[in-house]
Chains A and B, each alone.
Chain A
Amino acid sequence: NAGVTQTPKFQVLKTGQSMTLQCAQDMNHNSMYWYRQDPGMGLRLIYYSASEGTTDKGEVPNGYNVSRLNKREFSLRLESAAPSQTSVYFCASRVTRNTEAFFGQGTRLTVV
């Protein structure tokens, strides 16, 4: 069972470059999430999609955009990367609210 798959696992970008982080889940979950994890800060929500066709901002959405391409896939785009976006990014999914969350393996992004 693949669960939640994130690509890429590692990425180095130059300031101003753009990139898209991909996330796919094969568990038929309705809700999907993008988080960033920084030392001493814990996990912070960037964007989420409660169900296919909807997306909403989380705590730290500035500098990011998302697309819920279909029920399986939820991508995160950095249009113009900044060093402050250096972080570990996690995608997660769950059936709906109040159910167990499943996480991807993370994407370690460095912006130089």
Chain B
Amino acid sequence: KNEVEQSPQNLTAQEGEFITINCSYSVGISALHWLQQHPGGGIVSLFMLSSGKKKHGRLIATINIQEKHSSLHITASHPRDSAVYICAVSRTDSGGSNYKLTFGKGTLLTVNP
């Protein structure tokens, strides 16, 4: 079982819809990251959070530490939101693992006009 699981793997939506992408993890963490990767493009950090909720424009990220679960929401989705969204965690293992990120496999979002 992967230590970071994302769902769904693929998601197709119509422009304007509310989108939710989920991330569950099975290790102790100090922070969770949401990243965005457009097709053929680089990777951009959207959020880093260790508790509660963060909002940036139409994007909202929440985390429930007790349930080891995070969600990324996109309100009023737009075709330019089409991308792969990746969840990653900073682990609290001792030693070297503290410097590493463990990644989910990503969710491919397609927003149709």
Chain A neighbourhood of B88, CB < 8 A: 43, 101
Interchain CB contact (< 8 A) of A102 among B45, B100, B106: B45
Chief secondary structure at chain B's binding surface: strand
Known A42-B86, A42-B106; judge A31-B43 contact (CB<8 A): no
Known A42-B86, A50-B96, A56-B96; judge A101-B106 contact (CB<8 A): no
Distance between Cα atoms of A42 and B89 in the complex (Å): 13
For A, the interface residue count at a CB cutoff of 8 angstroms equals 25
Q: Does B42 reach chain A (CB closer than 8 Å)?
A: yes
Nearest CB to that of B47 among chain A residues?
A100
Q: Does B103 reach chain A (CB closer than 8 Å)?
A: yes
Known A100-B48, A103-B42; judge A58-B100 contact (CB<8 A): yes
Q: Does A40 lie within 8 Å of B105, measured CB to CB? A: yes
Q: Does A42 lie within 8 Å of B48, measured CB to CB? A: no
Distance between Cα atoms of A104 and B41 in the complex (Å): 10
Q: Does B41 lie within 8 Å of A105, measured CB to CB? A: yes
Distance between Cα atoms of A61 and B3 in the complex (Å): 20
Q: Which residues of B line the A interface, CB within 8 A?
A: 30-31, 33, 35, 41-45, 48, 86, 88, 90, 96, 98-101, 103-106
Report 13 cross-chain contacts, Cβ distance below 8 Å, ordered by A residue: A33-B101, A41-B105, A42-B105, A42-B106, A43-B88, A43-B101, A50-B99, A97-B90, A97-B99, A100-B33, A101-B33, A101-B101, A106-B43
